[in-house]
Structure 1
């Protein structure tokens, strides 16, 4: 059946405004068939869950509550299985719509996989995630992303043929936080499936606290280490670590990092400095590699 399924994986996030905006655009586009499906992935924030329940009462909308957390990859695979239509549009629940032509822009392209990107909304100076994303903002343009189409792919905002997604689901072995989208780009590369990058961003506006983001980063580095064989061509941290090991400085680097780790971390959380943040990630990964061996 021809049509569009907009799929939103959600965890501890009120996404009612996002769904309202998408609902309005779908209705105005006069699509023959469309739906919006929100899947709650075992949220522990009951306030957010109760706010999102209203979505299930709107036309063409479905709200699904999963009692157990499936994980970032598995919940997207679950949504694809539930989808009724041939075209899938995945959007993260903590994003916002910044263009009145967002849905129409995706519909104008027939490419099998399309990534629209994201943009930074507002000013959140002093927030680590905001400062990190703002520094990389120049690379968010489609013309830049297309040069490394598989490496610069993210699952926060992409459109894909359902048949392709079902044949190439996300790798559920990525159970922890991070890198499931990097691995997905690698899947497309290995399968020879092209990715079209366009400028059709969603807005990134909801920035977690510095401490919460640091915990996510540390978890993602563990994910990176566990999947290092697949991700070695997609990570600068792995590349830097390989150089450090090649010149036999990894033991010294790990020892130095352990001496200053707590101080570095406090400094980053209190007053973010991106260079220090980069050094922390490298040191954390080197020390993680040592501990896991």
Structure 2
């Protein structure tokens, strides 16, 4: 029936696993919950060892880092059931019938995405940027997500048929952070996989600081350009790539990169401050995207 795969890095996963185990047991299904820490060497792994006391559950701490994509692939290879539920270790289950909602729709689709929510209030002043972008841009209803089913896929809180995942997998050759979900979703679109979006969100537990999120955004944009250059993703699949392609074709990228260089410090000051502006964040993304050619 269901293999629940939980990639971890330096996080206490036991409360999440305990809730998932409870719901799976109540649903009376065949299940397993596989947790794998990606060589963080964290002291929290002493707590995570308690996962091994729960039936059909296991926790493993890797000695060598596989990176996020490799860790997910490794978990999928170990899975014994036909359906894989990918859920990140920092997720918070907010509905008592979370597992049940997936079970009733499993056999009708290749991929089912339940969505994600951010907390109602930001956790701290220095985490406002990630919280704002998540809450006001990323958090979408199932109705909105189903309008662009492939582009709206994130592989946290997602069920996929094992046979489908084995056809695509995460690209282990990519080492930079970001757009692994985009690449996998694009490959699923080429296979015409049947995708459904439902209202079954988890809450995003760990929120990056403003500075950490900016650094991740930069790396993610660099990886997007690499995917574009290596023709591993179609321009029309990502709106940001369409914009980049247009600007590149009109030779505007050089002008924008110079303007970005002038205003970069002012943008960073706002985005790392206590009241980051999402419009300025989008300008930062476009400016950095246009300057990448000189950086990679």
Please say whether Structure 1 and Structure 2 have the same fold, judged by a TM-score greater than 0.5. Answer: yes
In the alignment, what sits opposite 2:167?
A: 167
Once structures 1 and 2 are overlaid, which stretch shifts more, 263-272 or 89-98?
263-272
Mark the runs of 5 or more structure 2 residues left unpaired by the alignment.
none
Structure 2 length-normalised TM: 0.92
3-state SS in 2 of match to 1:233? helix
Q: What stretches of structure 1 of length at least 5 have no aligned partner? A: none
Where do residues 1-293 of structure 1 align in structure 2 (5 Å cutoff)? 3-31=1-29, 33-44=30-41, 46-109=42-105, 110=107, 111-124=109-122, 126=125, 127-136=128-137, 140-228=140-228, 229-231=231-233, 232-270=235-273, 271-292=275-296
Q: Alignment length, in residue pairs?
A: 287
| Superposition deviation, residue 118 in structure 1 | 0.9
User: Helix, strand or coil for the counterpart of 1:225?
Assistant: helix
Q: Does the 8 Å CA contact 2:151/2:238 hold for their aligned counterparts?
A: no
What secondary structure sits across from 1:277 in the alignment? helix
In 2, the alpha carbon distance for the partners of 1:73 and 1:276 equals 30
What RMSD, in angstroms, separates the aligned Cα atoms of the two structures?
A: 1.6
> What do residues 137-180 of structure 1 show as CA deviations (whole Å, max 9, x unaligned)?
5x611111111111110101111122222232222233221111
List per-residue Cα deviations over 1:78-111 (Å, max 9, x = no partner). 1111112122111011111011111011110112
Runs of 4+ in 1 over 3 A off after TM superposition: none
* Range with greater deviation from structure 2 (230-239 or 143-152): 230-239
**Which deviates the most, 172-181 or 238-247?**
238-247
Q: TM-score, normalised by structure 1?
A: 0.93
8 Å CA contact retained: 2:3, 2:34: yes
Question: 8 Å contact 1:145–1:197 — kept in the other structure?
Answer: yes
Measured against aligned partners, the alpha-carbon deviations of 1:42-98 in whole angstroms (never above 9, x if no partner) come to 214x22222212112222110011122212222111111111212211101111101
**Residues 214-245 of structure 1, C-alpha deviation per residue, up to 9 Å, x if partnerless?**
11111111111111133322333322222323
Taking the aligned partners of 1:174 and 1:116, their CA distance within structure 2 comes to: 26
